[in-house]
C-alpha cells in the first residue's frame, strides 16, 4: 500500500515542430488505500497520466512519489505497480493458471507449488477456479477480464492502475463487475487509480473523482462534492446525467434575463455586483412545471422512463431537459414554464467558466 504524490506533472509528446501537451500542471495526492477515479472526455490525458505513474512514459516535468520516495527516474519494473487494461493483454497460448502465475514466475524465486497455491487463492477470490486449464480464447469477455485482474492481484502490488478495464464488457456485466471490483479493492485495501470516460461509472465507483479536461485537472472530490459544487462550467456539464441545462443571461442589478423571455430575480444580490452577463445552470431534476415559472418553453419530446419522465423543451433556441413525475405528459408543442429554487441555481463566469454560485 502507498500514498502516491503526483507533483506538477507535465507530459509533452512530439518534437519542436509539433508538440502535444497531453498533461499539464497536474498536482494530485492519491491517499493510501484510496479508490480514485480519473474521468474526462477522450484525449484529455487520462491514459498518459496513468502511464507516467506506472513508469511507462518519461515525464517532461514534475515528479512522482510513492510514500515520499521519488520514483520519477525508476523504470516501470522497479515500481511496485500492477496495471489492468481495457484489452486484457493475456498471453493467448497460456492457460489461465499460467497467465495468472506468470508475474510470480517472472519476478520471484517461489516454487511451482507455492505459485500454484497463490493462483488457487486468487482464482477462488475471483470466482474463476473452474477455468484454470482453459486458454483465453475459450473465455468470455468477463472471464478474460477476471483473469487479467487475477494477474494484477497476485503480485500484491503497492498500487493498482486500471485503464478502462470494463469498457469492452456489455452493460449488464459492466455494472456487476463495477461492484465486484469495488468490493475486491476494499478487501485488499490497495491504493487504486482507475480511469474511465464514463461519468456514471466514476460517480458509482470512486472514493474520490478527479475530473480532467485538455490535460488539466479540473477538480478532485467525492461524487457529491463534484455534483453539488463543481469548480467550473466544464465540471458542471460533465458530471450528472442527463446533463445540466446551461445558457447565457444578462445581468441587470439583481435580475437575470435570457433567451426566450427567461427572467429570474435573485435574493442574494451581492453575487453579481460586477458582472454584465453570466452563464446560468439548472439541473434537470431541479426544474418543475409551474405556470408562472422563470423559463417559458415549448415542449419538444417527452421520454417515458417508467417511474419518471424526461421532458425535452426549447427556450428561445436553448434546449432544456427536465425530469418530472411520470403522471405528467404534456403534448409536443405545448407552451409550458419551468420554475426552480434559487438554492438550486448554478452561476458561472461567462468568460472563465469559473463557478460564482453552486448548491
Ligand atoms: P485519454 O486516455 O484521456 O483518452 P491520452 O492520455 O491517451 O488521453 O491522450 C492525451 C493526448 O496525448 C491526446 O491528444 C493524444 O493524442 C496524445 N498522445 C497520447 N499518447 C501519445 C503518443 N504516444 N504520441 C503522441 N501523442 C500522444
Ligand atoms: Mg485512454
| For the CA of 45, the nearest atom of ligand 1 | 6
Say how many Å lie between the CA of residue 48 and the centre of ligand 1.
Answer: 6
Q: Are 236 and 282 contacting, i.e. CB atoms less than 8 angstroms apart?
A: no
Say how many Å lie between the CA of residue 50 and the centre of ligand 2.
Answer: 9
Secondary structure letter of residue 330 according to DSSP: P
Q: Whose CA is nearest to atom 12 of ligand 1?
A: 22
Q: What is the pLDDT of residue 277?
A: 95
Q: Whose CA is nearest to atom 6 of ligand 1?
A: 45
pLDDT at 230 over 90: yes
Q: What is the pLDDT of residue 325?
A: 85
Say how many Å lie between the CA of residue 20 and the centre of ligand 1.
Answer: 8
Q: What is the pLDDT of residue 85?
A: 85
| For the CA of 38, the nearest atom of ligand 1 | 3
Count H helices and E strands in the chain, helices first: 8, 21
Q: Are 256 and 277 contacting, i.e. CB atoms less than 8 angstroms apart?
A: no
Say how many Å lie between the CA of residue 302 and the centre of ligand 1.
Answer: 39
Q: Is the ipTM of this complex over 0.90?
A: yes
Q: What is the pLDDT of residue 307?
A: 84
Enter the pTM of the model. Answer: 0.93
Confidence of residue 272 (pLDDT cuts 50, 70, 90): confident
Q: What is the pLDDT of residue 329?
A: 85
CA 83 to chain centre: 18
- For residue 272, give the C-alpha cell: 453579481
Q: Whose CA is nearest to atom 10 of ligand 1?
A: 45
DSSP 236-289: HHHSSSSPPEEEEEEEETTEEEEGGGEEEE-S-GGGGTT-SEEEEEE-GGG-EE
Closest CA to 182 of 352, 36, 350: 36
Ligand 1, CB cutoff 6 Å, lining residues: 13-14, 20, 22, 40, 42-48
Mean pLDDT of 58-82: 96
| For the CA of 163, the nearest atom of ligand 1 | 2
Hunting for cell 482453459 — which residue is that? 134
Q: Whose CA is nearest to atom 18 of ligand 1?
A: 22
Confidence of residue 91 (pLDDT cuts 50, 70, 90): very high
Closest CA to 40 of 32, 30, 50, 31: 50
Q: What is the pLDDT of residue 110?
A: 87
Say how many Å lie between the CA of residue 113 and the centre of ligand 2.
Answer: 38
The average confidence (pLDDT) of the chain is 94
Closest CA to 144 of 86, 88, 194, 85: 88
Q: What is the pLDDT of residue 273?
A: 75
pLDDT at 295 over 80: yes
**Coil, helix or strand for 30?**
strand
Say how many Å lie between the CA of residue 316 and the centre of ligand 1.
Answer: 38
Of 102-111, 182-191, 225-234, 255-264, which range is least confident?
Answer: 102-111
| For the CA of 41, the nearest atom of ligand 1 | 3
Phi, psi of 96 (to 5 degrees): -55, -45
Q: Whose CA is nearest to atom 20 of ligand 1?
A: 48
156 Cβ neighbours under 8 A, 6+ residues apart: none
Mean pLDDT of 162-171: 89
Closest ligand (CA of 164): 2
Of 78-92, 179-193, 281-295, 311-325, which range is least confident?
Answer: 78-92
Say how many Å lie between the CA of residue 24 and the centre of ligand 1.
Answer: 12
pLDDT at 88 over 80: no
Domains of the chain are 4-238 (3.40.50.300), 245-357 (2.40.50.140)
Amino acid at each position: 500500500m502507498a500514498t502516491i504524490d503526483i507533483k506538477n506533472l507535465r507530459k509533452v509528446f512530439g518534437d519542436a515542430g509539433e508538440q502535444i501537451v497531453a498533461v499539464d500542471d497536474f498536482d494530485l495526492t492519491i491517499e493510501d488505500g484510496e479508490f480514485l477515479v480519473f474521468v474526462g472526455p477522450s484525449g484529455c490525458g487520462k491514459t498518459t497520466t496513468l502511464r507516467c505513474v506506472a513508469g511507462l512514459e518519461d515525464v517532461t516535468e514534475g515528479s512522482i512519489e510513492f510514500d515520499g520516495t521519488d520514483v520519477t527516474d525508476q523504470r516501470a519494473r522497479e515500481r511496485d505497480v500492477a496495471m489492468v487494461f481495457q484489452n486484457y493483454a493475456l498471453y493467448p497460448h497460456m492457460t489461465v493458471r499460467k497467465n495468472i502465475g506468470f508475474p510470480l514466475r517472472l519476478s520471484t524465486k517461489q516454487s511451482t507449488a507455492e505459485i500454484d497455491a497463490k493462483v488457487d487463492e486468487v482464482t477462488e477470490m475471483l470466482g474463476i477456479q473452474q477455468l484454470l486449464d482453459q486458454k483465453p480464447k475459450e473465455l468470455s469477455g468477463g472471464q478474460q477480464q477476471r483473469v487479467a485482474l487475477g494477474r494484477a492481484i497476485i503480485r500484491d502490488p503497492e498500487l493498482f492502475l486500471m485503464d478502462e478495464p470494463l469498457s469492452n464488457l456489455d452493460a449488464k456485466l459492466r455494472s456487476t463487475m463495477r461492484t465486484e471490483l469495488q468490493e475486491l479493492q476494499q478487501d485488499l485495501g490497495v491504493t487504486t487509480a482507475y480511469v474511465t470516460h464514463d461519468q456514471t461509472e466514476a460517480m458509482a465507483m470512486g472514493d474520490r473523482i478527479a475530473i480532467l479536461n485538455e490535460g488539466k485537472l479540473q477538480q478532485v472530490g467525492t461524487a457529491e462534492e463534484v455534483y453539488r459544487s463543481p469548480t467550473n462550467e466544464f465540471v458542471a456539464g460533465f458530471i450528472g446525467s442527463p446533463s445540466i441545462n446551461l445558457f447565457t443571461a444578462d445581468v441587470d442589478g439583481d435580475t437575470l434575463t435570457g433567451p426566450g423571455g427567461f427572467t429570474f430575480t435573485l435574493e442574494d444580490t451581492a453575487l453579481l455586483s460586477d458582472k454584465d452577463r453570466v452563464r446560468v445552470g439548472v439541473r434537470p431534476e431541479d426544474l418543475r412545471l409551474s405556470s408562472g415559472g422563470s423559463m417559458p418553453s415549448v415542449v419538444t419530446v417527452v421520454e417515458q422512463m417508467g417511474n419518471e419522465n424526461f421532458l425535452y423543451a426549447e427556450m428561445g433556441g436553448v434546449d432544456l431537459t427536465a425530469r418530472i413525475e411520470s403522471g405528467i405528459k404534456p403534448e409536443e408543442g405545448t407552451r409550458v414554464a419551468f420554475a426552480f429554487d434559487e438554492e438550486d441555481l448554478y452561476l458561472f463566469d461567462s468568460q472563465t467558466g469559473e463557478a460564482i454560485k453552486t448548491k
